[in-house]
Structure formats: C-alpha cells, structure tokens
Amino acid sequence: MSEREPGTWSRNKPLSRAFAAPRRAMNRIFATPGDHLDGTRTRTTASSVVDCGVYVTGKRLAGEFSPDEALREACSHEDGFVWLGLHEPGEAEMTAIAQTYGLHELAVEDAVKAEQRPKLENFGAVHFLVMRTARYVPHSEITETSQVVETGQMMIFVGEQFVITVRHGDASELGSVRADLENGRADLLEQGPWAVAYAVTDRVVDHYLLVADQVEADLDIIEEGVFSRGAASPIQAIYQMKRELVEFRRAVVPLQRPLATIVAIVPKRIGKYFRDVQDHLTRTVEQVSSYDDLLNSILQARLAQVTVDQNNDMRKIAAWAGIATVWAAGAGIYGMNFTHMPELDWLYGYPAWWAIILLISFVLYRAFRRNGWL
C-alpha cells in the first residue's frame, strides 16, 4: 500500500438541546470559516503522518489507525509491529508520538532538527539510526551556481514492536518501499521492524549509487571540456562541482560505521541483508573517492592551462613590445633635433629611416614567430 498524504479531520461538538437553537442563531449572525449552522466545526490541520500500518505475520491489517491505536493493536499480537511514516514532523507532534512509543528526548530533538551526521545510537530497547539521503538534480550544464546533489535526512526508530521512519527533504521517498514490501515480500516483513529498517536503508544506499553514476557522467563532460581545443570549462564551474561532491561525500562516507554496527547487533537472518547494503555502500564510497581524486586532477590541469595561457599572453605582449621599441628608439633619436645630424640633410635620409625600421621589425617578427612567441 502506497503512502498517502495527510488529509483533514473533523471533530463534532454536540450541544445540548437547550443551547442548540441560540447557537444556530448566533452562527447565522457571526458565522466564521469552519463553523456550520448545525453547531459542528471542521478544522483542517497539517499532519506529518504519511502512513501508519500494523503488520502481523508479514501482512498488513485492514483499516486505518492513529499512531496510538496502531501501537495498541500491534501489542495485542505476539508477532505484530507498527510502521509509522513521518515527513518533516513538528516538535509538538513528534513529542506526542515520543510519549506514546517511549522515545528518548534527545533522539526526538535530533529527528525534528534534522541536522545530524549519520550515526546509530541505542536508547534502551530502541535503536536510533540517522542517514543522509541524496538526490541528483538534473541540469543542462555545470555553472558556478549549479546544484548537482540535493541532500536530506532519514531517521529510523527501531523498537521491539514498532519502526518509525522520519524523512526530511524530497529524496528517497518511502511509498514505493512500503508497496514493494506489502505486495511481494511478506516473508521479509515477517522478520519484524529490522526488516523495514533494512528496506529503507537499502533504498537510501541505492539512491547513492544512482547519484554516483550521474555525477560520473558530469565529470566526463567536465573532463572533456577541459582537454578539448575549444573553450574549456571555467574554474568556477569545476570548483562548484567539487563542492557538490564534498556534500555528497559527507552523506555517504560517515554511514559506513553505523552500518557495520548494525550488522553486528541485528539477528543473523537480517544481518545478511544489511551486509549486502554494506557492500553497495562500500562501492559508492570507492566511487566518490575516485571522483574526488579525478576532480582534483581536472582542477589542477585547468589551473595549469590558465597559467600556460597567461604565459603565452605575456610572451606575445613582450614580443610586440620589443618590436614597438625599435620604432620608439628611431623616433626618439631623430626627434632630438640636434644641429649636427648629417642624416637630416641627406636626400634619402627619410626613406632610409623607414627601410631600416621596417627591416629590423620584420627580422624581429620572424624571430619571435620561429620561437613561438607570436
């Protein structure tokens, strides 16, 4: 069953017969949005509860449950558990859920603020896993302001008879995960809350692999642009890509230790699934490390190209300045207006001056061209 969006809820406030008529009269005069003439009031509230299901022997029980009702129903079955899905919960709502499920206040604070590094903490019988989600942001080209990787957070509370997933951001939605488990993997759901934790973790890490593959395609484009003969990629774009890669690295690399700890504490029948996720994460970490090295090499190559281009420009400027110096020297000498300058009285002095200046300039130009300065 896919996750559904929170809806509206209504609460009826029945009035005694003695006050029903006056109330209806007052409503006609002072009616406000949400008040009805029959004395009822409908209020629409934003809830972070996306889905709340009770599972027994790998199958979801029919009906809709509030978080407290779901926990009572699950506790009435020996092998039942609750999967409560939340999306960006507020502090008040998360506190109420914590009181019902016995969550630690520090974990609740982390789940609301969503500013944590990947970690695994143990609060008595409840384990608290924090992961960072990642999503590739499509773009036409890499610029100095392009967003390549968008990150969010995923928190999982795992208890004896419940699992609570708290998602922040748009990456790694869980509707399809829930549907896959309910429709075709009842044998996995039979293994309890840790099975749900595995499925969610697997989806997050699978998204890492997708992002890594798409980032690799971007790096290929940047590398091709840097080493092409045409206009090379600007340094600002390369540096922006490096920043995005650092953001992705912060999401992927720190998750290695929590996953290794989970493999050691979960039941063996679930541990083999988490080891598979661990292998995928290791592959992603290796990819990210290689991308970082490649991007450093690309950045260094581009900086070297810029330095070479600057040197070439300076040599061209120096060559033309050397040629211009010949003209300046000739004009300076014959512009001093000394009295005894025999060339001034010579009939061919002016043409000879032009011929000498042009000849020297041509010789210098050919010399600079031969040496690659022009």
Q: What CATH number does residue 339 fall under?
A: 1.20.58
139 and 24 part of one domain: no
Q: What is the pLDDT of residues 245-295, one digit of tens each?
A: 889 999 999 999 999 999 989 888 899 999 999 999 999 999 998 988 888
87 beta partners: 167
39 and 53 part of one domain: no
Q: Are the beta carbons of 274 and 262 closer than 8 angstroms? A: yes
For residue 129, being part of any structural domain is answered with: yes
What is the rounded CA–CA span in Å between residue 47 and residue 40? 21
The pTM (predicted TM-score) of the whole model is: 0.70
- Mean of pLDDT values over 220-244: 75
Name which of 174, 27, 12, 166 is nearest 90 in CA terms: 166
Q: What is the pLDDT of residues 105-139, one digit of tens each?
A: 999 999 998 888 999 999 989 999 999 999 999 88
Quote the pLDDT of residue 23. 41
List Cα–Cα distances, 303 to 261, 293, 306, in angstroms: 42, 15, 5
**How many domains are there within the chain?**
3
Quote the pLDDT of residue 220. 84
Element at 119 (helix H, strand E): strand 119-123
The pLDDT confidence band at residue 218, using thresholds 50, 70 and 90, is confident
Q: What angle do CA 368, 371, 374 make, to 5 degrees?
A: 45
Q: Which residues contact 327 (CB under 8 A, 6 or more apart)?
A: 357, 361
Question: Does the structure show a pLDDT above 90 at 140?
Answer: no
Question: Does the structure show a pLDDT above 60 at 9?
Answer: no
List the single range of 73-82, 294-303, 360-369 with lowest mean pLDDT.
294-303
For residue 189, being part of any structural domain is answered with: yes
34 and 95 part of one domain: no
Quote the pLDDT of residue 231. 57
For residue 356, being part of any structural domain is answered with: yes
206 and 142 part of one domain: yes
**Cα dihedral sign, 361-366-367-373:** positive
302 and 213 part of one domain: yes
115 and 131 part of one domain: yes
Q: Residue 30, Cα to own-chain centre: how many angstroms?
A: 50
For residue 4, being part of any structural domain is answered with: no
The pLDDT confidence band at residue 319, using thresholds 50, 70 and 90, is confident
Quote the pLDDT of residue 229. 60
214 and 346 part of one domain: no
List the single range of 39-43, 140-144, 282-286 with lowest mean pLDDT.
39-43
Question: Does the structure show a pLDDT above 80 at 304?
Answer: no
**Cα dihedral sign, 205-207-210-216:** negative
Tokens 């001034």 belong to residue: 344
21 and 61 part of one domain: no
Element at 135 (helix H, strand E): strand 126-136
132 beta partners: 153
Which range of residues forms the domain containing residue 165? Answer: 49-306
Please state, rounded to an integer, the average pLDDT across all residues of the chain: 81
